[in-house]
Amino acid sequence: MSYISGRWWRWKFRKVLLVALIQVCLETSVLSCQVDCNQVFTSPLGSFTSPCYPGDYPKSLACRWTLRAPAGFIVQLTFADFELEEALGCIYDRVVVSTGSSDVKFCGITAHGLTLNSTGNVMELLFSSDFSIQKKGFNITYRQVAVALRNQKVRIPQGAGQAIQASSLVTIPSLQMFTVCFEIARHKQRSTEKIFSYTSGGSDVLVFGMHGAEMALGINSVQCGLGTILNQSDFTATMKSFCFTWTSTSGRVNMYSNGYRTTSCTDSKLETLVDGGVFSLGGDRDSIDGDLYNFRLWDYAMSRTQLTELTCDVPGNVLDWENSFWDIPASHSQTDSTLSCICFPNCTHLTTAVPSSGTAIPTLTSPTTSCASSGMGCPGRTRVFHWHACHMSQFVK
Ligand SMILES: *[C@@H]1O[C@H](CO)[C@@H](O)[C@H](O)[C@H]1NC(C)=O
Ligand SMILES: *[C@@H]1O[C@H](CO)[C@@H](O)[C@H](O)[C@H]1NC(C)=O
Ligand SMILES: *[C@@H]1O[C@H](CO)[C@@H](O)[C@H](O)[C@H]1NC(C)=O
Ligand SMILES: *[C@@H]1O[C@H](CO)[C@@H](O)[C@H](O)[C@H]1NC(C)=O
């Protein structure tokens, strides 16, 4: 009796399991191409495909993908693969790309291999299919491209002879005072850390960084110790803004960061910085291991009030954080949407063409596909699961 009832329960259990598995199989096959194709992508680069790609796309689709880049970037889209139903005027199945200034319609294989740039920081792609004739659709890759140095920070190169230099087209005047401002984030603390230097004829005219055991400003052969107003621990992994002024007549060095601090460097009194030298971020060696941003230089010493009120977008009158002032290899510039001064004023530069120099591809890699998010019917994966589930059910019998 107990044996029979045990068998009965086992039989009953298998039957229930079988029914459940059949249900799963049916549901996954029905759901397999019900992909959410109304999505917004904000990653620096990625890819997405038409639903069920490389299988045929479903009938009667209406999809909208929005590619959104931070202000100061454009979106560059490439059709790595493209095949839609062909029709004159693309009246049946079509892709319409809104670049910001125009709408471009595609069907057949016309878009295969094509690259499109947005004019602003948003690109939209609409895809619709009708009730008959399906093709494999498309595979699209996209990336954000920075259009201005102000949307980029610079990784200070490490190692001798690798400093990032101001453009040779910029002439540094002779200076008896200056204001220098920059933002800096440090990755790893080192015993010697040069942040910037100005050299002429191979010798240092102005050096800012660790000297011996304290932060110092080297002016010609004079070392102005800054230990009372600055120390190494002021540099952190978070971008922070610093401004320094120096005045030859008084020999004073002032700093503005979180607050205003001032110190005297009497030995630097009446020194003059020669003109025509080369300005570098980092040093010839012993550079700080970190990122610099918004490095600006003025030929006068700002007052405490001026420093307090200075905003990130006031241009330096000797050096400014714009492409034309610097020779920065693309391998050292990085886009970063958290930088303090992107897109100002009014993001007007967004509509300008991508400059031939100074552009960089964001180095972040977080590719997204239409199958990356949970809760979406991913044809490949659900089919595999479906197959296993249905075969497993055979063993249950
Ligand atoms: C898109 O921009 C890139 C520069 O990033 C340029 O090389 C390419 O020619 C542009 N393509 C179009 C279609 O404007
Ligand atoms: C789409 O194209 C890119 C670039 O060729 C490729 O890396 C990616 O694997 C393709 N995606 C699919 C789903 O085929
Ligand atoms: C660094 O300087 C700040 C203020 O200038 C001070 O509060 C802090 O104690 C100093 N740290 C070290 C390790 O000297
Ligand atoms: C920028 O914004 C300001 C304030 O909103 C406005 O007065 C000015 O006209 C704008 N400039 C441009 C070029 O759109």
SS (H, E, C) 357-373: CCCCCCCCCCCCCCCCC
What is the per-residue pLDDT for 121?
80
Cα-trace Rg, the chain: 30
| Among candidate residues 86, 106, 110, the one with its CA nearest the CA of residue 97 | 106
Which mutation among 101, 106, 116, 117 tests ligand 1's pocket best, with the greatest number of atoms within 8 A of CB? Answer: 117
Global pTM value: 0.58
Contact 139, 123 (CB under 8 A): no
Dist CA 27 CA 386 (whole Å): 9
Tell me the per-residue pLDDT of 305-355, one tens digit each, with 9 for 90 and over. 999 999 888 999 999 998 889 988 766 877 676 888 875 333 433 323 333
First to last CA, the chain: 22
Q: Which residues contact 303 (CB under 8 A, 6 or more apart)?
A: none
pLDDT score for 286 = 85
Minimum-distance ligand to the CA of 112?
Answer: 2
Residues ≥6 apart with Cβ < 8 Å to 395: none
pLDDT at 19: 47
Ligand 2 contacts CB of residue 141 (under 6 A):
yes
* Ligand (nearest to CA of 229): 3
Question: Which structure tokens are listed for 163?
Answer: 């400093």
Indicate whether residue 346 lines ligand 4 (CB < 6 A): yes
pLDDT score at 366:
27
* For ligand 2, atom 10: residue with the closest CA: 139
In 274-330, beta strands by DSSP E: 278-281, 289-298, 326-327
Structure tokens at 71: 């202000």
Q: Say yes or no: CB of residue 348 within 6 Å of ligand 4.
A: yes
The residues with which 124 forms a beta bridge, in sequence order, are 66, 98
Per-residue pLDDT tens over the stretch 272-317: 999 999 999 987 778 999 999 999 999 999 999 999 999 888 999 9
Give the DSSP H/E element, type plus range, for residue 260.
Answer: strand 260-264
Pick the ligand that lies closest to the CA of residue 353.
Answer: 1
User: Which residues of the chain have a pLDDT value below 50?
Assistant: 1-2, 16-31, 344-397
pLDDT at 361: 31
Mutate which of 210, 228, 233 for ligand 3 pocket (most atoms within 8 A of beta carbon): 233
Q: How far, in Å, is the centroid of ligand 4 from the Cα of 300?
A: 29
Tokens of 45: 């680069």
- How far, rounded to the nearest angstrom, does the alpha carbon of residue 365 sit from its chain's CA centroid? 9
Burial class (CB in 10 A: 0-12, 13-18, 19+), 157: middle
CA 52 to ligand 2 center in whole angstroms: 13
Q: What residues are in contact with ligand 1 under a 6 Å CB criterion?
A: 76, 115-117, 145, 354, 359
81 in Cβ contact with 123 (< 8 Å): no
Q: Distance between CA 85 and CA 133 in Å, rounded?
A: 6
Query: Mutate which of 230, 231, 232 to test ligand 3's pocket (most atoms within 8 Å of Cβ)?
Result: 231
| Closest ligand to the CA of 53 | 2
Angle between helices 379-396 and 2-31 (to 10 degrees): 160
8: its two tokens? 């009965």
Ligand 4, atom 5, residue with closest C-alpha: 346
| CB of residue 50 inside a 6 A radius of ligand 2 | no
Ligand 4 centroid, distance to 346 Cα (angstroms): 6
CA distances from 82 to 56, 94, 99 (A): 12, 11, 18
* Three-state DSSP state, 325: helix
Tell the residue number behind the tokens 């241009």, with chain if given: 315
